[in-house]
Amino acid sequence: MRHEQLHKTETYDRVELAPTVQKAANPEHAAQDVPVAVGALIATSYFVLIGTFALATTGSAYSHFMIVIDVVFLAAFFAVPWLFLRMEPKVRRTARFDQFLRNGIETATGRVGGGEVLIQMLIVPVLLTLAAIVIGLFAAYAI
pLDDT tens digits along 107-121: 888 889 999 999 999
> Is residue 132 within 8 Å of residue 56, measured between CB atoms?
yes
- Whether 50 is covered by a domain: the verdict is yes
- Whether 3 is covered by a domain: the verdict is no
- Whether 11 is covered by a domain: the verdict is no
In the chain, the number of structural domains is 1
- Whether 88 is covered by a domain: the verdict is yes
E-assigned strand segments in the chain: 105-107, 110-112
Q: Is the pTM of this model over 0.75?
A: no
Residue 46: partners with Cβ closer than 8 Å, 6 or more residues away: 74, 77, 78, 125
- Whether 83 is covered by a domain: the verdict is yes
Q: Domain of 49?
A: 32-141
Per-residue pLDDT of the chain (143 residues; tens, 9 = 90+): 567 777 777 777 777 777 766 665 666 677 778 888 898 899 999 999 999 988 888 777 888 898 999 999 999 999 998 888 888 777 666 678 998 899 888 888 888 999 999 999 999 999 999 999 998 888 888 85
